[in-house]
């Protein structure tokens, strides 16, 4: 478990930026989105220990961006003027950039689908652990055109074509990361333990990409029942974790450590059959949160033996209500923030805005 903590602690700002750019930034370019399942789910392997699901389409739909743009605020007028100026300037620099600004939905990424953020452990002792983001693609050629132009401008990565996908691998001045895609799905992948550009590390990353694009049904996370139950009940933001797909040798060590530290006599199967889930949902004027831990039969017996409590689930659900307008919480929060910033003088003069905010609160 200490090794897992060590890996998580090595996630750098670049990894989070990568996730934001690939997984979320792409979706926030548009204001008219609808949610569905995602082809990205097909790239999640069974040995995944944790998954986050972001239904960005649902969230932006709830934000009602078009209604926010109708607010009678100076900051809205400034934002719209800045957007129009950006389109005009980009037309002189790049036809592709201008087309993206004019039609941000047409970027090759299927903005109707969920995205998944997940951790995959291959060999924890050798540092082969991967942080991934996956989602859907609706125009392979369009995505390739965009990435090729970025490649020409930045030189920050190199695009290769494999048998059943394209892969863009970052160049040696950066940490080893890759973005791969085919006709219907994309994958962003990075190894938080990778800080050098040895041939072995690059090959390991390329091999992992190939493995994820070649998963058979029984090798996918969807073959685990508890994940299927979780995803059937997904909300705007939700997460799932389980040890079921982890390597049994690694689980043996964890079980032994649990026994040594707290004296719980468990089998590997007892740990594998446990799972946990967390759900956030933005309702009309409220936010609801639900968390649950589902115990295996062995853990249930242990709990009953130690506490005299008989249960298969530990869970809580909380709803926080703070608005009666009937609008969705995301819309209410954004509307309130825009109003406050506008009252404080807008973002044009940051020092003045911060001074006014300090006086207001």
One DSSP character per residue, 135-200 reads EEBS-HHHHHHHHHHHHHHH--EEEEE-SS-EEEEE-TTS--EEEEE-SSEEEEEE-TT--S--HH
CB atoms inside a 10 Å sphere around CB 306: 10
The tokens describing 95, both together, are 């036809």
In tens, the pLDDT along 203-236 reads 888 999 999 999 999 999 999 999 999 999 999 9
- Cα-Cα-Cα-Cα torsion 178, 41, 231, 52, nearest 10 degrees, comes to 0
Identify the bridge partners of residue 132 per DSSP, sorted by sequence position.
118, 189
Do residues 223 and 342 share a domain? no
- Tokens 């100076």 sit at which residue? 74
Q: Are 340 and 206 within one domain?
A: no
180, 41: one domain: yes
Both 99 and 214 in one domain: the answer is yes
Domain termination residue (choose one: 183, 208, 242):
242
Q: Which helix (H) or strand (E) holds 239?
A: strand 237-242
User: Do 338 and 225 belong to one domain?
Assistant: no
Confidence bin at 75 (pLDDT 50/70/90): confident
User: Does the residue 283 lie in any domain?
Assistant: no
pLDDT confidence bin for 176, thresholds 50/70/90? confident
* Mean pLDDT on 317-339: 88
Kindly state whether residues 238 and 336 are assigned to the same domain. Answer: no
Other C-beta atoms lying within 10 Å of the C-beta of residue 113: 27
Whether 31 and 141 map to the same domain: the answer is yes
Cα angle 30, 31, 37 (rounded to 5 degrees) comes to 80
Strand partners, 170: 157
Expressed as residue numbers, the domain containing 345 is 329-360
Are residues 342 and 200 both part of a single domain?
Answer: no
With respect to residue 265, please indicate whether it lies within any of the assigned structural domains: no
Domain ends where: 227, 242, 257? 242
Handedness of CA 139, 168, 21, 123 (dihedral sign): positive
Strands 115-123 and 275-282 come out as unpaired
Regarding predicted confidence, which is higher, 7 or 205?
205
Does residue 276 lie in a domain region? no
- What mean pLDDT comes out for the span 169-184? 81
104: pLDDT confidence band, cut at 50, 70 and 90?
A: confident
pLDDT at position 340: 85
Reported pTM: 0.78
CA 159-164-167 angle, to 5 degrees, is 20
**Which of these, 41, 49, 50, 43, lies nearest to 246 by C-alpha position?**
49
In the chain, pLDDT over 70 holds for what percent of residues?
Answer: 80
Q: Does residue 309 sit within a domain?
A: no
Q: Is the pLDDT of residue 31 over 60?
A: no
Residue 144 lies in a domain: yes
Whether residues 71 and 195 fall in one domain: yes
Side-chain-side CA neighbours of 206 within 13 Å: the count stands at: 18
pLDDT band at 352, cuts 50/70/90?
Answer: low
Taking all residues of the chain, what is their mean pLDDT, rounded to a whole number?
Answer: 79
**Residue 165: pLDDT band with limits 50, 70, 90:** very high
Name the helix (H) or strand (E) containing 343: helix 329-343
Residue 325: its pLDDT value, please? 86
Q: Is residue 30 part of a domain?
A: yes
Residue 360 to residue 357: CA distance in whole angstroms: 5
Pair 159, 143: CB distance under 8 Å: no
In a domain, 287, yes or no: no
Hey, which of 9-23, 64-78, 194-208, 241-255 has the most confident mean pLDDT?
Answer: 64-78
Instruction: Provide the number of structural domains found in the chain.
Output: 2
Can you give the pLDDT at residue 288? 94
Q: Pick from 357, 333, 350: which is nearest to 62 by CA?
A: 333
Within a domain: residue 351? yes
Among candidate residues 224, 242, 260, the one where a domain is terminated: 242
Does one domain contain both 204 and 109? Answer: yes
Selected residue with higher pLDDT from 104 and 231: 231
Q: Do you know the residue count of the chain?
A: 361
The torsion of the CA quartet 181, 182, 186, 188, rounded to 10 degrees, works out to: -20
Which pLDDT belongs to residue 32? Answer: 33
Residue of 242 and 154 predicted with greater confidence:
242
């Amino acid at each position: 478990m200490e090794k897992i903590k060590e890996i998580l602690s090595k996630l750098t700002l670049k990894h989070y930026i990568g996730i934001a750019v690939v997984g979320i930034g792409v979706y926030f370019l548009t204001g008219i989105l609808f949610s569905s399942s995602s082809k990205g789910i097909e790239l999640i392997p069974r040995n995944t220990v944790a998954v986050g699901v972001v239904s960005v389409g649902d969230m932006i739909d709830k934000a009602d961006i078009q209604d926010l743009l109708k607010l009678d605020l100076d900051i809205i007028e400034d934002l719209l003027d800045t957007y129009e100026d950006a389109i005009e300037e980009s037309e002189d620099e790049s036809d592709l950039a201008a087309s993206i600004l004019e039609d941000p939905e047409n970027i090759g990424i299927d903005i109707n689908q969920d995205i998944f953020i997940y951790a995959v452990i291959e060999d924890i002792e050798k540092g082969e652990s991967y942080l991934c983001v996956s989602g859907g693609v609706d125009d392979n050629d369009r995505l390739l055109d965009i990435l090729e132009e970025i490649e020409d401008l930045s030189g920050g990565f190199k695009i290769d074509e494999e048998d059943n996908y394209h892969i863009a691998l970052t160049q040696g001045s950066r940490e080893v990361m890759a973005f791969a895609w085919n006709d219907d799905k994309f994958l962003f992948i990075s190894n938080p333990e990778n800080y050098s550009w040895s041939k072995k590390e690059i090959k390991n990353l390329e091999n992992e990409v190939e493995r994820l694009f070649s998963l058979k049904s029984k090798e996918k996370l969807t073959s685990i029942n508890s994940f299927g139950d979780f995803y059937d009940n997904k909300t705007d933001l939700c997460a799932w974790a389980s040890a079921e797909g982890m390597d049994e040798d690694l689980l043996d060590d964890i079980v032994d450590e649990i026994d040594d530290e707290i004296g719980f006599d468990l089998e590997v199967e007892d740990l594998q059959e446990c799972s946990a889930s967390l759900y956030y949902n933005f309702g009309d004027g409220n936010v609801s949160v639900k968390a649950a831990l589902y115990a295996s039969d062995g853990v249930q017996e242990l709990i009953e033996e130690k506490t005299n409590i008989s249960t298969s689930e530990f869970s809580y659900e909380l709803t926080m209500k703070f608005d009666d307008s009937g609008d969705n919480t995301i819309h209410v929060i954004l509307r309130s923030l825009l109003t406050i910033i506008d009252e404080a003088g807008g973002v044009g003069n940051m020092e003045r805005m911060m001074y006014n905010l300090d006086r207001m609160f």
